[in-house]
């Protein structure tokens, strides 16, 4: 019987004999049955433990039959845990009171007139409702994350022909089916997130939502809330309970881009999550179990950061069970033709252009260029070339390949702030070789603002 036990139950009632009887009845069916005769202690329980169902007496003081005490404590419980199923206990069977309780959000109610089958079936049904509500909330949170992800270009791995990439494809095949933590390194724009997506799509978790977190675009004050989630009231703007990205990724893959941006305190918390396989939301004390496959990425040298005391060595060991290094595009030029043709097809469709091939002269220019911005720069350049091309063949001018080049706008558009801002950002990215920190600094904005503008202008 023990192996079939489920969930955690909390019972609050001032009748100690009734508490003992309920515990005897429910203990064979549930993992943990906690009883409490003093309602004032309930909040302490909730701050330290997560319950699935709470059985709550409606009246604690002798002679009081209004049920107001039950509603008071129900609201206090809801402030801490919106998901828990609450069953009211009443000795009076007041129909009007029962109807009011259901309207107020109570899952069900039972009477103190002893009916073992009725009590057990009610509690088991409340437990199932609790599990269903949690699953619904998880799916809602994932849907919100998915909607945000859909605004980005689809992450497609374009197979190249270079020796470097062939080695990486082989490595992906070996590690994808495992749950080993993977660290992907390489310069900005080399396609680290694309590789992470490819690993996920070839893993046993491929049918679950891929959860991506760009740590370079999150404001420092929001790091903890985004990663770990928060309880209602945990801070000024926490108006509701919210699951963090780590919790959303449970059962799937969590991708942490720019992992080198984590502060020491957050590195320590992430390490605890990986070790304990649980996460605690801000404002809560009870950990929630999580099961995710972790893929991280960085354009920094984490080994050097460890030497400079900027990154925890024990966390680095946890992150890179396997390391995949993506070489810059200038070291794998055999991949350029396939990449260019892929982006040509994508943007020809996007802008309704009938461009069927890349001119040989244009392709030679692309191969000879050094690509300081790597694949991201190639993608943007092909998009511009598609926009500016009129015929059926893609042309690439020398000006487009000049670092810091400015594409001249039509004079009638030069006073459009958004077009000028987009152009300035593009030029800055090229000038500073797509180094995000340097680009943000020279533009006079912080990194999170730069990332917001890159998403806005689809750069």
Q: Which two tokens stand for residue 97?
A: 């009171």
Same CATH topology for 2-135 and 152-327: the answer is yes
The third-level CATH classification (topology) of the domain covering 330-456 is Helicase, Ruva Protein; domain 3 (1.10.8)
Mean pLDDT confidence for 315-327: 95
Whole-angstrom distance, CA of residue 291 vs CA of residue 254: 10
Other beta carbons within 10 Å of 303: 13
**Residue 322: which pLDDT band, with cuts at 50, 70 and 90?**
very high
pTM: 0.63
* Best CA proximity match to 55, nearest among 117, 132, 112: 112
Model pLDDT for residues 327-338, shown as the tens digit of each residue: 999 999 999 999
Q: Which residues contact 46 (CB under 8 A, 6 or more apart)?
A: 77, 80, 81
Domains of the chain, by residue range, sit at 2-135, 152-327, 330-456
Contact present, 5 and 30 (Cβ < 8 Å):
yes
CATH 3.30.1340.10 fits 2-135, yes or no: no
Whole-angstrom distance, CA of residue 281 vs CA of residue 448: 23
Alpha helices in 216-368, H assignment, sequence order: 223-228, 245-248, 264-276, 302-307, 313-319, 336-350, 360-368
> What pLDDT is recorded for position 394?
92
Identify the sign of the CA torsion 332, 337, 341, 344. Answer: positive
Q: Is the pLDDT of residue 180 over 90?
A: yes
Percent of the chain with pLDDT over 70: 88
Q: Which residues contact 291 (CB under 8 A, 6 or more apart)?
A: 250, 251, 277
Identify the sign of the CA torsion 38, 43, 48, 49. Answer: positive
CATH 3.40.50.300 fits 152-327, yes or no: yes
Model pLDDT for residues 65-122, shown as the tens digit of each residue: 666 788 888 888 888 887 888 888 877 556 667 677 777 778 888 877 788 888 888 8
Model pLDDT for residues 36-57, shown as the tens digit of each residue: 888 888 888 887 888 899 998 8
3-state secondary structure of 355: coil
């Amino acid at each position: 019987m023990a192996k079939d036990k489920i969930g955690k139950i909390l019972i609050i009632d001032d009748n100690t004999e009734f508490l003992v009887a309920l515990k005897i009845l429910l203990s064979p069916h549930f993992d943990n049955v906690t009883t409490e005769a003093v309602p004032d202690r309930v909040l302490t329980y909730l701050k330290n433990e997560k319950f699935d169902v709470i059985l709550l007496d409606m009246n604690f003081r002798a002679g009081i039959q209004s049920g107001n005490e039950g509603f008071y404590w129900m609201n206090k419980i809801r402030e801490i845990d919106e998901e828990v199923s609450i069953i009211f206990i009443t000795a009076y069977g007041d129909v009007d009171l029962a109807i009011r309780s259901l309207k107020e959000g109570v899952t069900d109610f039972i009477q103190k007139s002893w009916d073992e089958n009725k009590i057990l079936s009610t509690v088991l049904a409340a437990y199932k409702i609790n599990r269903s509500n949690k699953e619904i909330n998880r799916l809602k949170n994932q849907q919100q994350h998915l909607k945000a992800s859909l605004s980005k270009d689809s992450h497609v791995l374009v197979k190249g022909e270079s020796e470097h990439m062939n080695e990486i494809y082989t490595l992906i095949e070996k590690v994808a089916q495992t749950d080993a933590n993977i660290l992907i390194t390489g310069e900005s724009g080399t396609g680290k997130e694309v590789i992470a997506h490819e690993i996920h799509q070839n893993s046993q978790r491929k049918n679950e939502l891929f959860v991506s977190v760009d740590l370079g675009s999150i404001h420092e004050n929001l790091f903890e809330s985004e990663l770990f989630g928060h309880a209602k009231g945990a801070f000024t703007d926490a108006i509701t309970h919210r699951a963090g990205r780590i919790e959303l990724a449970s059962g799937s893959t969590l991708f942490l881009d720019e992992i080198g941006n984590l502060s020491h305190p957050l590195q320590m918390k992430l390490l605890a999550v990986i070790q304990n396989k649980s996460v605690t939301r801000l404002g809560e004390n009870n950990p929630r179990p999580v099961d995710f496959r972790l893929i991280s990425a960085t354009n920094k040298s984490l080994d050097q950061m460890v030497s400079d005391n900027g990154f925890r060595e024990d966390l680095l060991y946890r992150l890179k069970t396997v390391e995949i290094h993506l070489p810059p595009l200038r070291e794998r030029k055999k991949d350029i033709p396939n990449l260019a043709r892929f982006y040509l097809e994508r943007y020809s469709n996007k802008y309704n252009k009938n461009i069927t091939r890349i001119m040989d002269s244009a392709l030679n220019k692309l191969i000879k260029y050094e690509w300081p911005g790597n694949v991201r720069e190639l993608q943007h350049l092909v998009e511009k070339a598609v926009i500016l091309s009129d015929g059926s063949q893609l042309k690439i001018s020398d000006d487009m390949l000049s670092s810091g080049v400015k594409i001249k706008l039509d004079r009638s558009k030069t006073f459009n702030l958004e077009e000028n801002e987009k152009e300035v950002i593009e030029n800055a990215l090229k000038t500073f070789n797509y180094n995000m920190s340097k680009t943000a600094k020279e533009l006079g904005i912080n990194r999170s603002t730069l990332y917001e503008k890159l998403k806005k202008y689809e750069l």
